[in-house]
Each structure stands twice: as C-alpha cells, then as structure tokens.
Amino acid sequence: MSAIILFMAVIAVIAGWWLSQQRLMAKPWLEEGGIGDFPGTGAMTWPAAKIGLGVFLAVAGSLFALFTSAYSMRMNMVDWRAMPVPALLWFNTGVLVLSSVALQWAYVATRRDNMNGVIVGLCAGGASAVTFLVGQLLAWQQLRAAGYFVASNPANSFFYMITAAHGLHLMGGLVALGRTTAKVWRGAEMAQLRLSVELCTIYWHFLLLVWLVLLGLLTGWTDDFVDICRRLLS
Amino acid sequence: MVDVPYDAIADAPPAEVPEVELYHPKSWWTQYVFSQDAKVIAIQYSLTATAIGLVALVLSWMMRLQLGFPGTFSFIDANQYLQFITMHGMIMVIYLLTALFLGGFGNYLIPLMVGARDMVFPYVNMLSYWVYLLAVVVLASTFFVPGGPTGAGWTLYPPQAILSGTPGQDWGIVLMLASLILFIIGFTMGGLNYVVTVLQARTRGMTLMRLPLTVWGIFTATVMALLAFPALFVASVMMLFDRLLGTSFFMPALIEMGQQMKYGGGSPILFQHLFWFFGHPEVYIVALPAFGIVSDLISTHARKNIFGYRMMVWAIVGIGALSFVVWAHHMYVSGMHPHFGFFFATTTLIIAIPTAIKVYNWVLTLWRGDIHLTVPMLFALGFIITFVNGGLTGLFLGNVVVDVPLSDTMFVVAHFHMVMGVAPIMVVLGAIYHWYPKVTGRMLDDWMGKFHFWVTFLGAYLIFFPMHYLGLQGVPRRYHDLGEAAFITPNVHTLNAFITVVALIVGFAQMVFLFNLVWSLFKGKASGGNPWRATTLEWQTPETPPGHGNWGKELPVVYRWAYDYSVPGAAQDFIPQNQPRATPALQGAAP
C-alpha cells in the first residue's frame, strides 16, 4: 500500500498548508464584528469549476494510486509473469504528449485572444486524444493476437484493467473537450472560453502524468522504486 | 432574517466572488422530481435512504427471530440468514448512514449554514441523487434475482464471496458490486459539491473558524469519503473481473466440489487491504458528521457556547487524518507481521486522544448550562453515553492480544453496533427532531418524540449490552444456528430470546417515529422561523421552509461565530451570526 500512503501524504501536506493559511489558531469567540478584518480567510476566489476540478483530480489520483498499490502487491506473488510491452505503446505515448501540447497551445492562445490558435489547439488536441484511444485498442488487439488474454496472467489482467480505467477517464475528458469546442462553434466570446480551455488543459496534463507513471509501472521501469518503497515500509 | 441597519451592510466590502445566477425550475417535474435545488435533493436522499433503511431494519428482525428462537421459523434457512446479515450490514453502513449524513444533511445544511444560495454545481448534484437511487434499485433488485442477494457478509471477502457455496453467487454478488460502483460514482458527484460549496460559496464574513461544527464535520467527512471510496471502487472492479472474466486478482488456486478451479495465485489479503483502506475511514465518515451535529445540538439546547471550539475543529481534522493509517486493525487475525500489528494498534489507540477531547468538550459544554431536555437534546445526550460505551470496547479490540480471542464473536457485533450503529442513529434522530421545523415549518409532536427516545435508548442498551457478555462467552457472530457446543450454555439461549423480544419492540417504536413524521406534517404545531432560538444562519432565513435561493434578495453577512449563547449583557440569550456588532440590542428573532 506504499503508493497510496505516499499519495495521501502529498494530499495531507497540501491540505495542511492550506489549513495553515486559514487562521486555525484564531479565537472566534473574541472576534466579533468586522467582516473585512481577516483578509484571505473568506471564500476562495477561484471559479468553482476550477476548485471542483482540483478536488476531482485528487479523487482520480487516489484511484490510480490504489491501482498502483494493488499492482505492486500482486506482482510479488509467484505466478506473476511480466508481459512484453507492445511497441505501439510508445507511439501512443507520443500522441498523448502531442495532445497535451496542443491543448497547452490552445490555452496560451486564449490568453493572447487568438481565436484561430484556440480552434487549432482544441481540434489537434481532440484528434490526437482519439488517436491515442484507438492506439490503445490496437495494442489490446495485438496482445490478444499474441495470446496474452485478460485472464491468462495477473500481469495481463492489470494491463487491461488499468489501461481501460485510464482510457475511460480520457473519454470523460473528451466529452468536456467536445462541449468546449461546441462553444467555439457557436461563436462564444473568448472570455467565456478561457476557463473551459484552461480546465481541459489541466485535466489533459494530469492524465498524461498518470499515463507516464502507469507506463513506468507496466514496463517495469519503476520496479526498483516500488521495491525501495516496500523495503522502507517493511 | 435579522433586520440589519443599512449602514452595517454599507461598511462591508463587496463580495470577492460574484453571485452566480440560480437555475430556476420551469415545471412541476423540474421543481420536485428532477430538481436542482439542494433542499429538494436532500429530502429525496433522506426519503430513499430511510426507505432502504427500513428494509435493513426488517432484515435485522429476521436475524433476531432466528437467533432468539432457532428452528421456529421455517422461512429462515441458513442461506437466507447469511443473505440477511450481508444486506443488513451493507445497507445500514453505506446506503443509509453515509447517504443520509452526507446526501441528506449535507445537502440541506451546507448551503444554508454557510450562507449560500445553493450548491455550486446544482446539475451534478441532481445527477448524484439519481445515480444513488439507481444504486439502491440495483441493490434492492438482488432480492428478486435467481439465487437472491449475496450472503458473503458485508465485507464481501474473497474467495468465499464468489464461490458456489455462498448464496447469491450467480447474480447477487455481481449486482452488489455493480451497485457499490454506482454508489461511489454518485457520491463523488455529490461530494465535489459539498466540498467546493464550503470552500468557495461561503458568504461574506464566514471564515472557516466561524463555521458551525456541523459543517466542519460534514466537510471533513466528505473529503475523507472522496479519498477513501476509490479503494472500495478498485476492490469492487477487481472482484468483478475475478467473477466475470476469470482473472485471479484475489482468487487463490482452489478445488471446488472436487474440481480444480481456473483461478490461481491471487491474494485474498490484497482485497482485505483495499476494503479496509476504505472501511476504516468509513467509520469516521459516519462519525464525523454525527460529532459535528451533536455539538450544535448540545450548544443550542444547553444555551451555552461550545466548549473549546478550536480544539473541536482540530480534533475533527486530526481524526480525519489519523483514520487513514489504522485500517489493518481489522486484519489482526489475517496472519500479518507482529510489527505491523504493533504499529496499527498504536495508531488506533492514538485516535482515542482527539476523540476523548471531543467527549470532554461536550460534557464541559453541558456543565452549568441551561439544559433544556427537548427531544433533540435527549438524543444528543443518548449519543454521548452510547459513543463512550462503544468507544471503550474499541480500546479492548484495538489491542492485538485482546482482539484475537474476541475476533468474530458477538463482542465485536456489540462494539460496532454501539459505536457506529446506535450512536450515529441517535444523532440522525436528534437532528431530524431539531431541523424538522425548518424543513416543514411545523414541530414534531413532543410526547411521541419522548416515547420514541426512551424506548429506543433503553432498548438499544438492553439489546447490545448482553451481546458483550455473549461475545465474552465465545458465541460466534454470523452463525445461523449455535448447535450444541459445550460453551453455549442455556443462558445464552435465554439471553438471545430476550434480545430478540426487545429488538422487535425497539423496531416498532420506530414506526411511532415514522407516524410522527407524517402526522406532524399536517397537524404539528406551527414552528415559526427559529423555534429553538438558535444562532446559526439556517434559522435566520426570511422564509420557513426556506424558499428557492434561500435568502431572498441579499445574502446574509456574518459578524460572529456560531455559538453566541447566553452572552453577558446581551438582550437575548442568543445572538444570530448575522447580527452586526454595531447594534447589540437588536431583537433578532426570525419571522
């Protein structure tokens, strides 16, 4: 369970830092009156959607950290046979990086009021994300053709399950991206677009980060790291 | 609402977060059924949770009938008994208590108590309820599928949960896991709302340290639930894979009915880690809202400020954090390394410190207070006593050497029913008596309430106290029939019959409560806006029940903390949070 403990520790540090800014040492029973007396302790000024996305990323992060924990515990059993990683995954990873870059491009374009840049960025980001998903399906197909079925070994089972979970999150992201693109299509003002594009970009970067960690796990690169964590905890 | 002089508002700086335009329902359907108003969603959550909770109550009667009078009722066989205990546990913990505290009280109270018009994502909030309802329907449907519901126990431990010896192996377990997955998706939608509303939609002047403890409890519990439920989600998905696709995440090599099964190499302990990583925080997901609510009930009905507010807040946060590092104390008998047992026993006992701080502070709030023994107060007092009792037996079970012999006995059943069954239900009932006037504009009948309290409170003790004794005798839990073992003495059977009779009586007392809920809706005394003369914002709304958007034209502005009761020199024994300092003599009664 080292991955999830590590993740929780990060969340605890963030939450602790935020709480430390909130005057938890105050004596509210002595502080009657003046609503402007305590600057910075009112409601957060970020848009609700942005805070909501932040909280959701913590939930999704917890989910993937738990998958990672389960993976690292299960891989210790004697029946574990590591699976060859299809070369296609490297292509898919590249495409996902491109997708993230394209959305970053769109985000920068919203800051510069460049509507064409936004359109190009959103379309390129969406297209490469769809390409990534198709690539993942092809990778599944290749593995099945090579005889690596979902139930033939736990390593395979984890591969299919974790890539499916990641893919489903990306599909959810594509729905949001589609709605944002539809807004552009309907001729929305840049001010209305800025937040939606920013949220999509943050989510895409998050999913890229998750994918890189998962890839490290599935290819066995992080085995040494997992081993060190396990030794630390035992 | 308090009639605040214009000058006081003018001094206030403008809101940093602009008001968001509210969604306005256009038809009867969108106003009462597919409503995006948190208050309607709260009532939908509460009614659904109560309905499925009643099913769980009936299941507990079935179990008690079998235990009290074994062999008398031919319609309860061993398989059904296992199905009843599984469904009773799962419904009570997740579909009733979690949904009621967070979906019910959270939805109703958070926007009103922080001075918001509604939740920040009303559409997602509505979806949350409908996905929850779907989860409940899927769960309830398992009673009607071939093979019936799963009988794996509420912990759903593999490998037995998906083996053919366990009832509900065909459909029951699959639908149970699907229902849990749906519940978690629905809860995540709601949970995002509760957290972001507290973070972002607090009205001007409502600093975190001015929040009522109810909001602190629900907020912290929601954060915990958002982080802990993914563990149950992962465990459920992996078990579904094992059951439907034949993978071996949790399933070791097995021979069933003389046949080698296709599984091999899986780890049942892995499931236990995932399950309890969710399961232990879940105890506090239910307890923290109860802690918060009971603090407010005690302060209001003892007309005294809460003792040690800061400590109460720190304790809530501390308990929330600690509860993530104690999960393996549910696994002492799983053969873990003794050092792990030592670590988890230590963290478990450390939680007693913030919890004890809370109990002392409740008692010190009562000390020299002007205690009104209203029905909500009675339930709050009942909670404190019950929680202390249940907590003390927790100290027994937290120690490895004491836990091992008591594991899987009735002692454990008595412990967790006291601490996370009876105690939170006391708070739920007290909270309903307390806030019913705000929700409906009418008071619940006092005599029926007092009858309900005394039968429930005394009955709960008559049920669960003897169970500790049964456990110490070695009577195991989850047994359909105790058989003729030497350690099962005749008094075990007598006690079991006694417990069953009391359980039936306590169950019927709940029918009086339900009758009261309906009767008072039409015939109850009109309550006015603030019948308990409370300080928190929900009692200061311009209308009762609060209208759409809660606050009329202007959002309230907060000038003080939530516990200004019996302030020396004040005109009344309470000062609402939205009463400004400049005019201390204002008469702040709500209409």
- Inter-chain contact B120–A28, Cβ cutoff 8 Å? no
ipTM higher than the 0.85 cut: yes
Nearest chain B Cα distance for residue A76, angstroms: 10
pLDDT of residue B19: 65
**Tell me, what's the pLDDT at B587?**
45
How far off is chain B from A170, nearest CA to CA, in Å? 16
Region B277-306: what's the mean pLDDT?
A: 96
Q: Do A43 and B223 touch (CB under 8 A)?
A: no
From chain A, the residues in CB contact with B582 under 8 A are 33
Flag if B266 and A77 touch (Cβ within 8 Å). Answer: yes
* Contact state of A11 with B201 under an 8 Å Cβ cutoff: no
- In the Cβ-directed half-sphere of A108, how many Cα atoms lie within 13 Å? 9
Which structural domain, as residue segments, surrounds residue A80? Answer: 2-233
Q: Please work out, in degrees rounded to the nearest 5, the angle formed at the alpha carbon of residue B379 by the alpha carbons of B375 and B384.
A: 145
Residues on chain B touching A166 (C-beta within 8 angstroms): none
Helix (H, G, I), strand (E, B) or coil at B329: helix
In A, minimum Cα distance to B244 occurs at: A151
What pLDDT is stored for residue B584 in this prediction? Answer: 47
Distances from the Cα of B231 to the Cα of A61, A157, B324, angstroms: 11, 18, 11
Coil, helix or strand for B260? Answer: strand
Closest CA to B206 of A49, A48, A53, A31: A31
CB B470 within 8 A of CB B430: no
**What pLDDT was estimated at residue B454?**
98
CB contact under 8 A, B207 and A28: yes
Q: What is the distance in angstroms between the Cα of B229 and the nearest Cα belonging to chain A?
A: 9
Mapped onto helix, strand or coil, the DSSP state of residue B555 is coil
pLDDT score at B6: 40
Q: How far apart are CA A118 and CA A108, in angstroms?
A: 8
pLDDT at B482: 87
- For residue B2, the model assigns a pLDDT of 47
DSSP 8-state code for residue B212: -
Task: Give B-chain residues touching A31 at CB under 8 angstroms.
Answer: 560-561
Tens digits of residue pLDDT in A159-213: 999 999 999 999 999 999 999 999 988 888 888 899 999 999 999 999 999 999 9
Q: Which amino acid is at B17?
A: V
How far is residue A113 CA from its own chain's centroid? Answer: 27
| Chain A hits for B557, Cβ within 8 Å | 35
Q: Do A161 and B317 touch (CB under 8 A)?
A: no
pLDDT recorded at residue B514: 97
| Cβ atoms within 10 Å, residue B377 | 22
Q: For residue A34, which residues of chain B lie inside 8 Å, CB to CB?
A: 559, 581
Task: Give B249's contacts in chain A (Cβ within 8 Å).
Answer: 70, 74, 154, 157
Q: What's residue B332's pLDDT? A: 87
Taking 80 as the threshold, does the pLDDT of residue B585 lie above it?
Answer: no
* Contact assessment for residue B439 and residue B43, using Cβ atoms and an 8 Å cutoff: yes
Q: What are phi and psi of B258, to 5 degrees?
A: 80, 0
Bridge partners (DSSP) listed for residue B255: B260
| CA B236 vs CA A107, A168, B60, B163, B200: distances in Å | 37, 17, 25, 16, 33
Among A116-130, B103-117, B293-307, B387-401, which is the least confidently predicted range?
B387-401
Chain B residues with CB under 8 Å of A6 CB are: none
pLDDT of residue B10: 44
- Which of A35, A59, A66 is the closest to B274 by Cβ? A66
Q: Which segment of A80-89, B123-132, B181-190, B480-489 scores lowest on mean pLDDT? A: B480-489
Among B4, B9, B119, B196, most A C-beta atoms within 10 A, so best to mutate, is B196
Average pLDDT over residues B112-139: 96
- Cβ distance B248 to A234 less than 8 Å, yes or no, reads no
Pick from A22, A45, A74: CB nearest B16: A45
Q: How far is CA B575 from CA A47, A118, B560, B564, in A?
A: 33, 53, 9, 5
- Whether the pLDDT of residue B14 is over 60: the answer is no
B106 CA: distance to closest CA in chain A (Å): 17
Contacts of B262 in chain A (CB under 8 A): 151
Nearest to A77 by CA among A155, A157, A139, A152: A155
Query: B264-278 pLDDT, tens per residue?
Result: 889 999 999 999 999
What local confidence, expressed as pLDDT, does residue A26 receive?
Answer: 86
Percent over 70 (pLDDT), chain B: 95
Q: How many independent structural domains does chain A possess?
A: 1
The reply to whether residue A31 touches residue B561, judged by beta carbons under 8 angstroms, is yes
| Percent of residues, chain B, with pLDDT higher than 90 | 80
Rounded CA gap, B288 and B320, in Å?
8
At residue A233, the pLDDT reads 64
Q: Cβ of B13 and A25 within 8 Å? A: no
Could you tell me how many CB contacts below 8 A there are between chain A and chain B?
Answer: 172
Residue of B nearest to A234 (CA): B340
| Amino acid sitting at position B238 | M
User: What's the helix, strand, coil split of chain A in %, to 5?
Assistant: 75, 0, 25
Instruction: Please give the mean pLDDT across all residues of chain B.
Output: 92
Residues of B in contact with A234 (CB under 8 A): 337
CB contact under 8 A, A43 and B305: no
CATH number at residue A70: 1.20.120.80
Would you state the pLDDT for residue B229? Answer: 97
CB-CB neighbors (< 8 A) of A52 in chain B? 120-121, 192, 196
Q: Under an 8 A CB cutoff, do A77 and B581 touch?
A: no
Element (H, E) at B255: strand B255-256
Cis, peptide link before residue B545, omega less than 30° from 0: yes
Q: Please compute the mean of the pLDDT values over residues B94-113 and round it to a whole number.
A: 97
**Does A92 have pLDDT greater than 50?**
yes
Taking all residues of chain A, what is their mean pLDDT, rounded to a whole number? 91
Q: How far apart are the first and last CA of chain A?
A: 11
- Residues in chain B with CB shorter than 8 Å from the CB of A77 are 265-267
pTM for this entry = 0.94
Backbone angle region of B463, left / alpha / beta, with phi > 0 → left and psi within -120 to 50 → alpha: alpha
Cα distances from A26 to residues B309, B313, B369, in angstroms, run 10, 11, 24
First-residue to last-residue Cα distance in chain B: 7
Inspect the interface and report whether the beta carbons of B227 and A8 lie closer than 8 Å. yes
Contact flag A62-B245 (C-beta cutoff 8 Å): no
- The number of residues making up chain A comes to 234
Q: Encode pLDDT of B506-526 as tens digits.
A: 999 999 999 999 999 999 999
pLDDT at A77 over 70: yes
The DSSP line for A114-163 is: -HHHHHHHHHHHHHHHHHHHHHHHHHHHHHHHTT--TTT-HHHHHHHHHH
Yes or no, beta carbons of B202 and A42 under 8 Å apart: yes
Average pLDDT rounded to a whole number, residues B438-462: 97
Q: Hey, are the CB atoms on B200 and A48 less than 8 Å from each other?
A: yes
- Nearest to B112, CA basis, from B188, B187, B201, B48: B201
Q: Is the peptide bond before B476 cis (omega within 30 degrees of 0)?
A: no
pLDDT tens digits for range B27-48: 888 888 899 999 999 999 999 9
Asked whether the beta carbons of residue B277 and residue A66 sit closer than 8 angstroms, the reply is: yes
Lowest mean pLDDT among A33-42, A89-98, B59-68, B534-543: A33-42
User: Is the pLDDT assigned to residue B188 strictly greater than 60?
Assistant: yes
Chain B, nearest residue to A156 by Cα: B247
